[in-house]
């Protein structure tokens, strides 16, 4: 069992990094900037809906 210890720790670190990456996006600020760039309001709303309340998961191999 000791041989899996390093493997499990590396996956946990990866998961934490994965979650942190998506927490840095502030959807409302992104939408405001996209709107200022001239993106259609309907498209901005769709992107906002897509980014909000999204479940996050990763799969490694067949685990």
In order along the chain (63 residues), what is the average pLDDT of each group of 10 residues? 54 56 77 93 91 78 77
Q: How confident is the model at residue 36, as a pLDDT?
A: 94
| pTM for the structure as a whole | 0.49
**Burial class of 59 by CB neighbour count within 10 A (0 to 12, 13 to 18, 19+):** exposed
**Cα end-to-end span (Å), the chain:** 17
Q: Give me the residue spans of the domains in the chain.
A: 25-55
Q: How confident is the model at residue 3, as a pLDDT?
A: 55
């Amino acid at each position: 069992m000791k041989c899996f210890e390093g493997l499990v720790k590396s996956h946990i670190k990866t998961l934490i990094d994965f979650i942190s990456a998506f927490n840095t996006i502030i959807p409302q600020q992104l939408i405001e900037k996209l709107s200022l760039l001239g993106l259609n309001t309907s498209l901005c709303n769709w992107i906002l809906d897509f980014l909000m309340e999204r479940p996050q998961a990763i799969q490694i191999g067949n685990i």
